[in-house]
Amino acid sequence: MATSSQSLPALRNSPKAIFFTDFDGTITLQDSNDWMTDNLGFGTELRRAGNKSVLEGRPFRDAFQEMLDSVKTPFDQCIQLLLQNVKLDPAFKQFAIWCRQNNVPIVVLSGGMQPVIRSLLAHLVGEEEAAAMQIVSNDVKARPGKSVNDENGWDIEYHDASPFGHDKSLEIRPYAALPDRPVMFYAGDGVSDLSAARETDLLFAKAGRDLVTYCEKEKVPFTVFHDFSEIHKIVQDVVEGKISVQQAATGTA
């Protein structure tokens, strides 16, 4: 277990369950990258066209790169604007507190950028809850000859070389391969979550978003959620043994 705990941090306290989750548009009501693109970059219409192209097979990283390349605002100004405009799912903080009190690690798997996620989490749920969450994401880097806080000075630094930029399945699969492992949940909403959609015991997909469209098209089982109060109830019932994960997945109890 020592080796597993070192390479798989969510196993550190031998949990019964692990909650993997997307960040933008899942934990938050707005997607920070979409907000920047819509308000500071090339706008909503081109962004939606890019998302549609990903659902049709284009690599996510290519469409995402185009989105972020259209944002020229210095990075520190982007952070400040996001802190003013991005709101938290109203039920997430209570869920995060319950998870910490009940030894259910939250692992944030994001196609976004680490400094944005850390800033928003600390602002929205507080330093203590944010510090308890493992975050695996892309990062930010300066463009050649510039600082990230210069005009057109920053660029995304992808987590890996996959077509996703951050292939979330790579983080989940080592846990899934364990012979005696915790129950694994995943919550997401959009095209950055396609790589994770098939990897856990129970997938929560946000109502009306692109992940639902993908799952319906590819016949990937999922449970729809509107906010984290619905997720909280199901995860708590599974962890407390009131229902099985199979019952949760089919909506029977």
How many Cβ atoms from other residues are within 10 Å of residue 97's Cβ?
15
Q: Could you tell me if 67 and 41 are in contact, meaning their C-beta atoms sit under 8 angstroms apart?
A: yes
Catalytically annotated residue among 24, 31, 89, 155: 24
Least Cα distance to 206 among 91, 119, 127 occurs for 91
CA angle 168, 174, 179 (to 5 degrees): 140
- How far, in whole angstroms, is CA 74 from its chain's centroid? 24
Q: Respond yes or no: is residue 193 known to be catalytic.
A: no
Q: Distance (Å, rounded) from C-alpha 206 to C-alpha 190?
A: 8
Active-site residue, from 22, 155, 167, 193: 22
For the question of residue 24 being annotated catalytic, the response is yes
146 with 210: CB under 8 angstroms? no
Q: Which residues are catalytic?
A: 22, 24
